[in-house]
């Protein structure tokens, strides 16, 4: 299977589409199995009020969709005329907001149902996502060189730094 190359966007992992689809199938099968059939840790689920779980689910789901939408808008917007590194906006917080949004989406469902088995499946999926990202980042270093290396020093791969979040919030107010 060949890697996809779009000018300026780097090279995707050769199995990125299979990993994405496979992760969704694996997660939702695990979630359905645990939530509706195995019901592991049902006492824990019953001890957390449903309204609290719905609020946490909603917040996590909204965050996942913000990451997903912001990353897509930034990469494929009309203003992105020149191919190259995108390091502002949501990409100033984390290097892979779209990839981060997917486990967050899964996390929302796990939090709603308090599915412990699903939490473990998210960790397993995250390992695959991380390996996929490591491959793609090596390709980006080959394409962009020191510019990408500097970006990796300033911007975390997965978990935003508070200072980056602070700068993004207050920089957007100055515009």
Mean pLDDT of 90-111: 95
Mean pLDDT of 124-147: 95
User: Mean pLDDT of all residues in the chain?
Assistant: 88
Asked if residue 8 has pLDDT above 90, the reply is no
Report the alpha-carbon distance of residue 84 to residue 81 in Å, rounded: 9
Residue 91 is given by DSSP the state: G
Q: How far is CA 8 from the centre of its chain?
A: 21
Tokens of 44: 């824990």
Asked if residue 77 has pLDDT above 80, the reply is no
Residue 114 is given by DSSP the state: T
Higher pLDDT, 161 or 122: 122
The structure tokens 């990353």 sit at 71
pLDDT at res. 14: 92
**pTM for the structure as a whole:** 0.86
Query: What Cα–Cα distance (Å) separates residue 174 from each residue in 28, 37, 79, 153?
Result: 42, 52, 20, 25
Q: What are phi and psi of 10, to 5 degrees?
A: 85, -165
Asked if residue 132 has pLDDT above 60, the reply is yes
């Amino acid at each position: 299977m060949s890697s996809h190359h779009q000018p300026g966007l780097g090279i995707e992992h050769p199995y990125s589409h299979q990993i994405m689809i496979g992760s969704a199938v694996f997660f939702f099968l695990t979630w359905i199995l645990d939530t509706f059939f195995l019901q592991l840790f049902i006492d824990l689920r019953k001890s957390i009020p449903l309204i609290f779980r719905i609020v946490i689910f909603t917040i996590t789901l909204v965050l996942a969709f913000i990451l997903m939408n912001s990353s897509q808008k930034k990469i494929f917007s009309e203003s992105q005329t020149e191919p190259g590194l995108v390091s502002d906006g949501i990409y100033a917080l984390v290097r892979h907001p779209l990839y981060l949004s997917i486990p967050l989406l899964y996390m929302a469902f796990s939090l709603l149902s308090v599915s412990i088995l699903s939490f473990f499946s998210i960790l397993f999926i995250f390992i695959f996502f991380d390996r996929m990202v490591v491959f793609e980042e090596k390709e980006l270093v080959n394409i962009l060189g020191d510019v990408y290396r500097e970006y990796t020093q300033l911007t975390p791969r997965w978990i935003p730094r508070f200072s980056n979040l602070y700068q993004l919030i207050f920089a957007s107010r100055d515009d």
